[in-house]
Structure 1
Amino acid sequence: MLSGVTTLLTGPRWRRALALADEQGGVLARKQLYALGVTRSEVTAHLRARRWQRVTDQVVAVHTGPLPELGMQWAAVLQGGPRAMLDGASSLLASGLQRYDVDRIRVSVPKGARVRRTERFDIRETRRLRRTDRAPGGVPRTRVPVAAVRAALWAKSDRQATYLLTLVVQQGMARPEQIGHELLTVRRHKRRQLLAAVVNDLLGGVRSLGELDLMRELRRRGLPAPAQQVVRRGRDGRYYLDLYWPDLGVVVEVDGIHHTWVENVVGDALRQNSLALERDVVLRVPLLGLRLQPDEFYAQIEQALTDAAARRAA
């Protein structure tokens, strides 16, 4: 990547420096340069001649072009110091998370570490950081399950926290049980209960619990009780309806995260289409939706039941 940066950098120390910079997205800490035998005056000379550029007070880029994402990540860690790691959503992005972005790169350092903070990066001390948190290889960062839990704890909203955990599982970066294991290390946090519920949803084993929650809330709102786990037969075989009001022709399907995965999409669509052809009204209620926007979903169920009752009475 850095070939042709300058013809002035010759000799073993410069070859080692440029090789290291190449691994780090084009950036080096001043301490790394000094350890390789490059002097302070040489660094200053390259910066003044605009062959290099200053990234922070501790990090330089050995070129003058824009920094790639890898270079920005390394610069943030190098600025944080020898025990710094990318953390939270920034760590997830470095591990390959897609369809997400951050405003500032987040770096964690152990409590009590000397930190040279900069407005460019979000560098914070934390008591949560452990040596075992570090992912193997690449830019120093926390392991995916650790990063996922912290990203969710630090998210701006419950919606964002839920979205992050869902993305990590959907993209195969970590299993729900791995995230749940890391969540057990969190003793106190206002979002801990929500995250535990989301992890349970992601496990796909709490569908019946979601149905029980729905039943209790329907009773509280004075709505008629449905039949549960009703067996129906379609052209593709036998299937179960989660909640069913046979007299009104209304069906509510409770969807866990597994319903959004490719292997389930076709089967779910065939089942819903079969019900629609039989004139039933089908509402899909994702468990994650019940965590974030319950009133909107319950209002839709109430409207469907009210409209169906009105049609039957007409």
Structure 2
Amino acid sequence: MNHDTPLSPLTPRPLAQLSAERHRVLTAAQLRAHGVGPAEANEQCRPGGPWQQILPGVFLLHPGPPTSEERLHAVLMYATREPAPGVPVQPATGPGGGGRRPVPAYPEAMVTGLAALNLHGFTSAPPLLSLDHVDVLVPRLRRLRTTGCARIVRTAELPTPVQRTGLPVAPVPRALADAVAQLTDAVAVRRLLTEAVRGGHCEPGAVVRELNRAKLLGRPHVVDAVDSLLAEGRAIAEDRLYRMVREHGLPEPLWNVDLRLPGGPHLGGLDAYWPEQAVAVELDTRAPRQGDPQDEDALWEEYALKREHLERLGISVVHITPRKLRDAMEQQAAVVRTALMASGDREPAAYVVVLPR
């Protein structure tokens, strides 16, 4: 039997072979399945012994410091429910988790916070081994406590994890919120939020929603970072909109304009406007602010009212989200092109005054 054979509760192994495994992190239950009882495990963990107990019920089968991978698996083993008998528990190998060993199932637990951001590839997140704690997200009712290198983060509803190096990891917006909750350094918070947007990891609105849910938008250093985040996200979205028009052969619009009725009220600002066709594009960059759960609904109502008003005047409004611009630019260009081509079939629009914004 070689080192690529998965460990299973159904395949007992001698102690010497267990200690020779490449990934040497096992729970007390897994050790019992291999015939190693509590007394024998404690004897192996005596001072100067070959093993150590890294977390309650989790053993490291060598005496040296754990690797970052071993520490991550140990934290997840501590936080997760025991796998069913016969389910392989050895982690996948290789940088992408694509080795021959099966990826372990860690039900109801996932890495979050700074460790998760590191696994997502954030350069502004600290190295894994420099972290005093690895944050692990679990359901609110789980009976677990923060101990050793495992810091328990509770949630009423677990998000769907993302696989990174064979491990369940919280999605970027949730991991950011959990990281920011532990940080008081305004510079560090701003760097993380800025990299989330510049690096294309997620859209600003998703981050702000998670910060809102975590009740973090009342912290001054977080508010300042969010202002920068939204400005950054807006600039990136506008740049993508310029690229969409030019790379997909759309006619050049008037950029960043305000519309008014002659001698009448302000109708609102638009990111792009084709006056001959009476077609407008508006980037949907709304995000809830100030921790008010009703903010997002109010923002959506504002968008909807403006759109209804413009369309009653015969102006066709195309709303585009930054995410759609990023992930489906060609499709969004087709939507705008269709609106421009359909303008000849509509009644002429009301006369409006176009002003630079």
Q: TM-score, normalised by structure 1?
A: 0.51
Whether contact under 8 Å (2:12, 2:33) holds in the other structure is no
In structure 2, what is the equivalent of residue 134 of structure 1? 161
Question: How many Å separate the matches in 2 of 1:79 and 1:53?
Answer: 14
**Alignment partner of 2:121 out of 89, 96, 105:** 96
Kindly indicate whether residue 168 of structure 2 is the aligned counterpart of residue 169 of structure 1: no
User: Structure 1: 5+ residue runs without aligned partners?
Assistant: 4-10, 209-228, 230-314
Kindly indicate whether residue 76 of structure 2 is the aligned counterpart of residue 77 of structure 1: yes
Kindly indicate whether residue 110 of structure 2 is the aligned counterpart of residue 112 of structure 1: no
How is 1:10-29 mapped onto 2 (pairs within 5 angstroms)? 12-14=11-13, 22=22, 25-29=23-27
Kindly indicate whether residue 242 of structure 2 is the aligned counterpart of residue 197 of structure 1: no
- Partner amino acid, structure 2, of 1:103: D
In structure 2, the residue corresponding to 1:106 is in which secondary structure?
Answer: strand
Whether contact under 8 Å (2:50, 2:63) holds in the other structure is yes
Query: How far is 1:93 from its partner?
Result: 1.6
- Partner amino acid, structure 2, of 1:144: V
Write the deviation string for residues 227-279 of structure 1: whole angstroms up to 9, x where unpaired: xx9xxxxxxxxxxxxxxxxxxxxxxxxxxxxxxxxxxxxxxxxxxxxxxxxxx
User: Structure 1 residues 37, 29: closer, same or farther in 2, change over 3 A?
Assistant: same
In structure 2, what is the equivalent of residue 50 of structure 1? 49
- Partner amino acid, structure 2, of 1:143: P
**Alignment partner of 2:31 out of 30, 33, 36:** 33
Greater relative contact order, per chain length (Cα 8 Å cut-off, separation 6+): 2
Query: How far is 1:71 from its partner?
Result: 0.9
Question: How many Å separate the matches in 2 of 1:129 and 1:88?
Answer: 17
Q: How many residues align?
A: 197
Question: How many Å separate the matches in 2 of 1:29 and 1:116?
Answer: 17
- Partner amino acid, structure 2, of 1:132: P
Question: How many Å separate the matches in 1 of 2:194 and 2:179?
Answer: 12
Query: How far is 1:60 from its partner?
Result: 0.8
User: Structure 2: 5+ residue runs without aligned partners?
Assistant: 4-9, 82-107, 239-255, 257-357
In structure 2, what is the equivalent of residue 152 of structure 1? 180
Question: How many Å separate the matches in 2 of 1:141 and 1:35?
Answer: 28
Whether contact under 8 Å (1:169, 1:176) holds in the other structure is yes
Query: How far is 1:87 from its partner?
Result: 1.7
Query: How far is 1:61 from its partner?
Result: 0.9
Q: TM-score, normalised by structure 2?
A: 0.45
> Higher helix proportion, which one?
1
Q: CA RMSD in A?
A: 3.8
Question: How many Å separate the matches in 2 of 1:190 and 1:184?
Answer: 9
User: Structure 1 residues 178, 37: closer, same or farther in 2, change over 3 A?
Assistant: farther
In structure 1, the residue corresponding to 2:151 is in which secondary structure?
Answer: strand
Query: How far is 1:161 from its partner?
Result: 1.3
Whether contact under 8 Å (1:183, 1:196) holds in the other structure is no
Q: Percent identity?
A: 23
Query: How far is 1:190 from its partner?
Result: 1.5
Query: How far is 1:94 from its partner?
Result: 2.8
In structure 2, the residue corresponding to 1:78 is in which secondary structure?
Answer: helix
Query: How far is 1:184 from its partner?
Result: 5.5
Question: How many Å separate the matches in 1 of 2:190 and 2:39?
Answer: 50
Whether contact under 8 Å (1:13, 1:38) holds in the other structure is no
Whether contact under 8 Å (1:148, 1:164) holds in the other structure is yes
- Partner amino acid, structure 2, of 1:134: P
- Partner amino acid, structure 1, of 2:45: L
Kindly indicate whether residue 83 of structure 2 is the aligned counterpart of residue 63 of structure 1: no
Whether contact under 8 Å (2:124, 2:191) holds in the other structure is no
Question: How many Å separate the matches in 1 of 2:120 and 2:35?
Answer: 32
